[in-house]
Amino acid sequence: MHIGPWHLPNPVFVAPMAGVTDRPFRQLCKRLGAGYAVSEMAASNPKLWNSVKTSRRLNHEGEIDPIAVQIAGAAPDMMAEAAVFNIEKGARIIDINMGCPAKKVCNVASGSALLRNEPLIAQIIERVVKACSPYNVPVTLKTRTGWDRENKNALRVARLAENLGIAALTLHGRTRCDLYTGQAEYDTIAQVKANISIPVIANGDITDPYKAKYVLDYTKADAIMIGRAAQGNPWIFREINHFLETGQLLPKPGYGHMKAVLLEHLHHHYTFYGEYTGVRSARKHIAWYISKLPEADAFCDRMNRIDNSHDQYTAVEQWFDQLIIHQGQQPETSPAH
């Protein structure tokens, strides 16, 4: 599929997730088969642009194009200014967040809270598209089916977005009030796809190759977006792509492959964040990777008391080596950190 002038290599994308889809994770997912990745949400408020957190989120060094940056806010002029600021930092696609259900986002009337104010949605889209147009940078929109189940307005918002120049729409099959509970529904996504001509990307509860194919077939969406199912599982993208292309499942990754991917991730994570923040923010990634493996809880408990990257990296390496030995295999040599 295409987003503006960009042809994307496959229809399996990684969703923007705050505190997760940083540059190291986006690059890893792309290397393992994600056709497209959107950065974690960046604030539109200029007062926050020079903060350490925002500076990291806007760091795209070495990233594969198209670099896509998601912006969030409720002030049309400020959102337009943020779009141009990010274009000057390297963004090639700007994504507007109207889907985040977090209270700290909704309490300032941005994210999915905007679904209760369609005139403001129109103003934001119009200003951002106009600001990006001179740079030939397409604008996309990520949203939900509505504020609550009694007030689903995704189709109206989608038509509005298409008429105002949005290049593609990502739709999560939940309302804001659903948060991440219950199950995503795909009828609304199918309805939206049937009634607009811009690409539609389906999002919500896509956890494996079978579900990916079902959602694509049911909704007729142009692509799917994977969120929480990619946490600790970045090879899900190549697994889904392979299944969509061949109808066959790839073998699940063995301990040796998991070890190599996790250690590569940790190496880039430490380089990106530095020692103190890198060690602490890596803990959640390690926990996600190993959550279903033997003795994971005990290892995570020990991991949370390690406070330097060398010991953390070595502990992960040795733990996987023991799993491999218990399988009767020889541990593989890992790249030195």
Pairing label, strands 42-43, 223-226: unpaired
Q: How crowded is residue 303: how many other Cβ atoms within 10 Å of its Cβ?
A: 20
Rg of the chain taking only CA atoms, in angstroms: 20
Q: Is 204 annotated as a binding residue?
A: yes
Q: Is 294 annotated as a binding residue?
A: no
Beta bridge partners of 97: 142
Q: Is 205 annotated as a binding residue?
A: yes
Lookup: tokens for 18: 């705050």
Active site residues: 100
Q: Is 187 annotated as a binding residue?
A: no
Q: Is 70 annotated as a binding residue?
A: yes
DSSP letters, 16-69, are P-TTTS-HHHHHHHHHTT-SEEBPPPEE--GGGTTSHHHHHHT--TTPPSSPEE
Q: How crowded is residue 310: how many other Cβ atoms within 10 Å of its Cβ?
A: 12
Q: Is 336 annotated as a binding residue?
A: no
Q: Is 227 annotated as a binding residue?
A: yes
- The Cα 275–Cα 267 span in angstroms is 11
Q: Is 18 annotated as a binding residue?
A: yes
Count of helices and strands (H, E) across the chain:
13, 11
Which of helix, strand or coil describes residue 201? strand
Q: Is 77 annotated as a binding residue?
A: no
Give 185's DSSP letter.
Answer: -
Q: Is 283 annotated as a binding residue?
A: no
Please give the annotated binding residues, written as ranges.
16-18, 70, 142, 203-205, 227-228
Which residues carry a binding-site annotation for FMN?
16-18, 70, 142, 203-205, 227-228
